[in-house]
Amino acid sequence: MPLDERTYETLTGIVGELWVERAPCVLDTYAYYQNPETMNQDGSQWLPRPAAVLLPDSAEEIQEIMRFCSRSKYMAKPISTGFHTAAAASNDDTIILDLKRMNRILDIDEKNQIAVVEPYVRGIDLQTQLLKVGLNCHIVSAGAMHSLLASHAAAWGYGVTGSSTSYSGRNLLGVEWVLPNGDIVTLGSSGFGAGWFSCEGPGPSMRGVMRGFHGTFGGLGVFTKCSIKLYKYDGPRSWDFEGQSPNYVLKEIPKRGKFVAIAFPSRKAERDGGYKMGEAELNYGEFRTPMFFTALGLTNNNLELKEALDSGLFPKFANHVLSCAFFAASDGEFAWKEEALAEIIKETNAAPVPFNLSASIRSLKLAGKLLAGVKDPLAPLRKSPALRRFAESSSFGAAQRRATQSRLFWLLVRNAVNIQSAFRPSQGMATMMGAFDTWDLAHAQAEYAAKAKQKYIEQGLIIADGGDLGAGGTFESGHLGYLEGIILYDPSNPASVEAVRDLVEGGLRASIDEALGVPIAGFGVNANKELGPACYHYDRWVARLKSALDPNTASDPFFYSEPEDEDDNPT
Amino acid sequence: MIVRPPSRVLAPGDVPELQRLIEDANEAEENLVVMSSGSPHVRDGLATAEAHALVDLSAWKRVDLVDRRNRVCRVEPGVTYDELLAALQPHGMTLPMPLAPRSTKSVLAAVMDREPSTWPNKQWDGSDPVGSTEFLFGTGEHFRTGAAGGPGSIDAQRKVGGAQKFSSGPSHTDFHRVLQGAQGTMGVVTWATLRAELAPSIEDPHLLRADSLDALIPYVYDVQRALLGEQSFILNARAAAMLMAGMDAGLLVALCESLPPFLCLQNIAGFERLPEERLAYQRDDIGAHASRHGLELLQALDAVSARDLLSHANNTCGEIDWRQHVHGGCLSVFFLSTLDRAPELAACFTESAKDYGVHESEIGLYVQPVVQNHGCHIELTVSYDPSSGTAEANMQRLEEDAVTRLLDAGAFFSRPYGTADRIFAKNPANFALIRQVKSLFDPNRVLHRGKWGL
C-alpha cells in the first residue's frame, strides 16, 4: 500500500527526503528479479510492489527505521546488490532498505588478511584492491558484482575459488547487526573493541543464530558491516590484455600460473580426480564445466552454440570436465604442483583438453566429421604424456591456447561470470539441489538432477542441455563438495515455467526421500514447512528465534521464517 | 566463588537415557553439569556454586566412523586423543591436536570449547574441526546440526555419498556454533563428526630461535600467509621447558637456562603424494622466509631437538596437564588477538605479574596462530604451589588484575574461564542476545545454571 503522509514524514525525518522513494515507477524496479515466474505460484513475473524504498546511510538510520517498523504495520527488507527473487518484498507493506549508499571498504588489514566492508561493497570493488597486494576474497558465482556482505552475512552462494578461499558463510569474522527491535549488536572480537578478527564468542557464538547455511535473507534484522577472511593470491598483481568484452585475452600467461580443463573419462574418475586434487591442495580456482557450458563458453551466439553442439564433439570429451587454475609462489612449488597434476591425470586416465586447437565453428564442424567414428577423441592425449606436453607448450596454436587460458583466468580468478551468456540460450535460468557436504554427494545430486530433467527435455520444455548441468566444485582443499543442477528454460512459456517449478519442487522432495541434503532452494517459509519435519524440526527453532528477536515482525519474514505458531510449540 | 560438589553423579548409558535424565531434571528443576573428560580437570569449567548433579559421559567411547576418502571421523564425548589417534592411524590420518592435551582429555570437549590446535593452516573456520553434531537441548529435544541434520538417516546419507562433514545447517540454523564455547550451558553434545587430515608420511621439523617475540612474528606472518608448513607455534623458554621437562624439576631449571628466550616450532612434511619432493620445496621456501627475517631453520638447539618438541606437542602429556607438572598449580590466562599485538599484550600481563612479585622469567608464553593465522591464541602461565594458600590467593589476585588490564588493552577472551567471565559486561547487547538464546535452548535453566549469570 502507498505510504500515508504521516509515515512518509516519519521516514523522511530519519533518512532525509531525497532518500525516500514512493513513485510507483521506481518501486516497480524493486519488484523484478531473477526467475520470479518460478517462485510465484501464479507464474507472474512481478513480485509485490513495496510500500517505499529507503536509502539509509548508516547503522543509526537503520536502527531508527527498525524501531519504526517495530511499532507500525510495515516490515523492512534490506537489499544490497540484489539479484535473486529472495531480495524482493513479500507484500506491499514492506519497505525496501536499499543499502547502496553504504558502499565503503572500511579497512583492509593486509597483515592479518581481514577486510571490513559495508553492504554495497561488491566483490569486484574489493578484489581489485586485494589482488594488487597478493590477497583475494571469496566471490560467489552470481558474479563479481555481488555484495560481499550479502553472501557472507545474509545469504548463500557458491564461488569458483572455493578450493582455496572456502565458502562465504564460513569466512565471516565479525558483523554489526541491527536487530529487528533496533538494538545494535556487534558479534565477536569487534564487539569488545579487540579488532575484527573473530566472530566466535565470548562463550557461545551468536553467529550460530545470525545466518546458518542459507542466511536469513533480511528476515531477522539488517547487517550493516562485516569483516571477512582474505586469502593469499599468488597470481599476477597486474596484467595487460587485448580484445574486447567479453573476450579479453591476456598478453602473457602469468608466470607460475596454470589454466587447464581436465577431461575425465567417467564420472567416477572425475570424482576421484576432485578428491585427489583437493588432497594435494592444487587448485586455486575450480569449476566443474558441464558439456553444454563448455560449448556455451566457446561460442558467441545461439546459432554458433547449436552448430557447435551439432558437431557431435562435445559429448565425446566434455561430459566430465573440471576447469582449474593454480598458482605457485616459487618455482619449486610450481614444479611440484605440475608433477602432482601429471600424476593425478595419469591415475585417473584423464587428459587436459588441448587449448591449442581452434574452437571456431568451422573447425568444430570439420573435426566433428573427421572424428565421427571416434569414440574418444582425447585417447591419444590420455596415453601420451609427450603429446600432452606438446599441446601445452608448443608454438602450434599458441594464440588460441592463450585465448582459452585467458577465459579461465577471467572466470576462475576475476569471477567475470558472463551472465549475459549464461542466460543466452533461453533467457531463463533456475537451479535445483546444491546441498553442501562431500564431493561424492555433490555428484549424487548432479546425477539426480540430470535424470529428472530428461522428461522435460524430451517434451521440449527446457533446453536440451544433455541434462547434466551440475555446476560447482570442491571446497577447502577437497574437504567439501558442491554441485547445483542448472535448468535453462523459457520464462515466456508457462509450460516451461511449470516444468521448472516441478523440477525444483521435485528436487526438494527427492532431497528428503533420498537423503540428498538440504538444497539451495531449501529456505524460507514454504521450504521450511516441507523440510523442517525431515530435519529435526529446525523450522520450529527458527520460528522461536523469530518470535524472540522480532516479536513485532519488523523484518519481512517470508524468506526466513514466520514467528512461532503457539500450536506448533511442543513445549 | 564457593564451589559446590555435585549432589550425585549420573552416568547415562545412551542418548535415550540421557534424554530422560534431562527431561526429569526439567520436571524436578535440577541443575545438570555435564562432563566428558576424565579427572583432574584443569580449568573451572565444571565449577559451580549451585547445587547440581554431575552427568558423566566419559564412558561414551565409540569412534564409529573413520572415512579416509572424505577425511572425517565421528566421536562420542568420552573419546580421548590417544584413542582417536589410534583409530585414525591405520587409515593414514590424524587430527589437528591441541598442544599436548591431557591423556584423559575428551576430544569432543576440546573441539566444542574451540581449543586451539597446533596446526593453524588446517583450520579454515573458527569452528573447525567440528563437522556435524548431535545434541540435546536443555528441554531434552533432540537435534542434529550440519549435514547430519538431514534429510534422512545417517545410513541413508552415507549410502548416497554424504559423510556429515558440512557444519552449517540445516537451512537457516548453525547451532553447533551456539554450543561451541558454551561450556555446557546450551545443550549436551552426544557425538560430533570431525574433519581429519592426512598424516604426514615424512616430517622434517625445525626450530627457529630469537631473543625477542617481535623477531619471530614477521616470519610467522609470511609462512602462515603462504600456507606453508604444518604444525607451528611460538613458546618462550619457560613454556618450552615446562612442556619438555615433565615432572623433572631439575630438568625444568636446566632447560630454562639453556633455551633461547623465544623459539618457534616449524614442522615441514610430505604426505601421500610426492612426499620427498613436497618436503624439499617447502623446506626451501620456508628457509627463504626465515633467511629474509634473519632467522635460521635449526633441527635442534643445544638442549632440545625439533623432533622431540614436536613429539611432545603432538602427544598427550599424561593425566596431569603439562602446565602443572612440576609445581602442581599453574595460573593460565589466555585470550585471542592478532599476532602483531601479541608482544604488547604479553607485556601487559608481565606488568601485572610484577605487581604480584612474579618475575618475567617465571612467566610462560605460548602463542598459537589460529584460523590460518587470522588470529592467534595467546596464553600466559605462572606456576605455583597450590598447597600454599598464600600463593593461591596471590595468583587469584594476579588473574583478576591481569584480566582487567588485558581487557582494557584489547585482548579478546573468547573462551571465558575464571575471572574472565567479567568480559560479558563489556558488550551488553551481545550478552542480552545470549540470554535470549539461552531462554530458548534451555528455558528451565537445567544446564549449568548460574554459569556466567545465565
Contact assignment for B163 to A438 by CB distance below 8 Å: yes
Quick one: average pLDDT of A230-256? 94
CATH class of A241-513: alpha beta
Q: Any idea what the CATH number is for the domain that residue B191 is in? A: 3.30.465.10
For A319-347, the pLDDT digits (tens) are 999 999 999 999 999 999 999 999 999 99
With an 8 Å Cβ cutoff, is B411 touching chain A? yes
Quick one: average pLDDT of A116-135? 97
Contact assignment for A516 to B151 by CB distance below 8 Å: yes
Instruction: For residue B431, tell me if it sits in a domain.
Output: yes
pLDDT at res. B17: 98
pLDDT band at B388 (very low <50, low <70, confident <90, very high): confident
Number of domains in chain B: 2
Contact assignment for A516 to B226 by CB distance below 8 Å: no
Residue A359 or B429, more confident: B429
Burial of A569 (0-12, 13-18, 19+ CB in 10 A): exposed
pLDDT at res. B393: 94
Whole-angstrom Cα Rg for chain B: 22
With an 8 Å Cβ cutoff, is A112 touching chain B? yes
Same domain, B10 and B104: yes
Sole residue written with cell 564451589: B3
**Residues 267 through 286 of chain A touching chain B, CB cutoff 8 Å:** 275-276, 279-281
Instruction: For residue B4, tell me if it sits in a domain.
Output: yes
pLDDT band at A34 (very low <50, low <70, confident <90, very high): confident
Q: Cα(B247)–Cα(B227) distance, rounded to whole angstroms?
A: 35
pLDDT at res. B349: 98
For B121-136, the pLDDT digits (tens) are 999 999 999 999 999 9
Residue A141 or B243, more confident: B243
Q: What is the CATH T-level fold of the domain A105-232, as seen in this structure?
A: 3.30.465
Same domain, B34 and B176: yes
Task: State which residues form the domain around B222.
Answer: 202-409
Same domain, B189 and B207: no
Instruction: For residue B414, tell me if it sits in a domain.
Output: no
pLDDT at res. A452: 97
If you measure CA to CA, which chain B residue comes closest to A234? B226
Same domain, B117 and B237: no
Residue A36 confidence (pLDDT) above 90: no
Who among B126, B142, B277 is closest to A536 (CB)? B142
Same domain, B239 and B368: yes
pLDDT at res. A571: 40
Who among B182, B273, B338 is closest to A343 (CB)? B273
Q: Among A30-44, A152-166, A176-190, B224-238, where is mean pLDDT lowest?
A: A30-44
For B267-286, the pLDDT digits (tens) are 999 999 999 999 999 999 99
Same domain, B240 and B303: yes
DSSP state of B234: E
Edge-to-edge order in the sheet of strand B187-195: B63-67, B72-75, B187-195, B130-137, B142-145
If you measure CA to CA, which chain B residue comes closest to A215? B172
Contact assignment for A212 to B139 by CB distance below 8 Å: no
Residue B404 confidence (pLDDT) above 50: yes
Same domain, B334 and B272: yes
pLDDT at res. A570: 45
Cell triple for B114: 574451540
Same domain, B100 and B215: no
If you measure CA to CA, which chain A residue comes closest to B184? A204
Contact assignment for A194 to B410 by CB distance below 8 Å: yes
With an 8 Å Cβ cutoff, is B306 touching chain A? no
Distance of residue A429 Cα from the nearest chain B Cα, in angstroms: 23
Residue B320 confidence (pLDDT) above 90: yes
Instruction: For residue B352, tell me if it sits in a domain.
Output: yes
Instruction: For residue B93, tell me if it sits in a domain.
Output: yes
Q: Any idea what the CATH number is for the domain that residue B258 is in? A: 3.40.462.10
What is the average pLDDT value for chain B, to the nearest integer?
96
Half-sphere exposure at residue A248, Cβ-oriented, CA atoms within 13 angstroms: 15
Distance of residue B180 Cα from the nearest chain A Cα, in angstroms: 6
Domain covering A5-98 in this structure, CATH number: 3.30.43.10
Quick one: average pLDDT of B176-185? 97
Q: Count CB pairs under 8 A between chains A and B.
A: 335
End-to-end CA distance of chain A: 38
Same domain, B327 and B206: yes
pLDDT at res. A1: 72
Contact assignment for A515 to B159 by CB distance below 8 Å: yes
Same domain, B275 and B146: no
Q: Cα(B233)–Cα(B245) distance, rounded to whole angstroms?
A: 18
pLDDT at res. A568: 57
Same domain, B451 and B430: yes
Q: B182: which chain A residues are within 8 Å (Cβ-Cβ)?
A: 203-204
Q: Among A389-393, B155-159, B201-205, where is mean pLDDT lowest?
A: A389-393
Instruction: For residue B185, tell me if it sits in a domain.
Output: yes
Instruction: For residue B440, tell me if it sits in a domain.
Output: yes
For A516-569, the pLDDT digits (tens) are 999 999 999 999 999 999 999 999 999 999 999 999 999 999 999 999 986 655
Instruction: For residue B415, tell me if it sits in a domain.
Output: no
Which string of DSSP letters, residue by residue, matches A61-121?
HHHHHHHHHHTSS-EEEEESS--BGGGS-SSTTEEEEE-TT---EEEEETTTTEEEE-TT-
Same domain, B352 and B445: no
**Residues with Cβ within 8 Å of residue A511, at least 6 apart in sequence:** A433, A435, A517, A518, A519, A522, A531, B151
Cell triple for A103: 558502499
pLDDT at res. A566: 67
pLDDT at res. B422: 80
For B405-423, the pLDDT digits (tens) are 999 999 999 999 987 778 8
If you measure CA to CA, which chain B residue comes closest to A474? B70
pLDDT at res. A201: 93
For A401-418, the pLDDT digits (tens) are 999 999 999 999 998 876
With an 8 Å Cβ cutoff, is B400 touching chain A? no
Angle at the Cα of A267 (from A264 to A271), degrees rounded to 5? 85
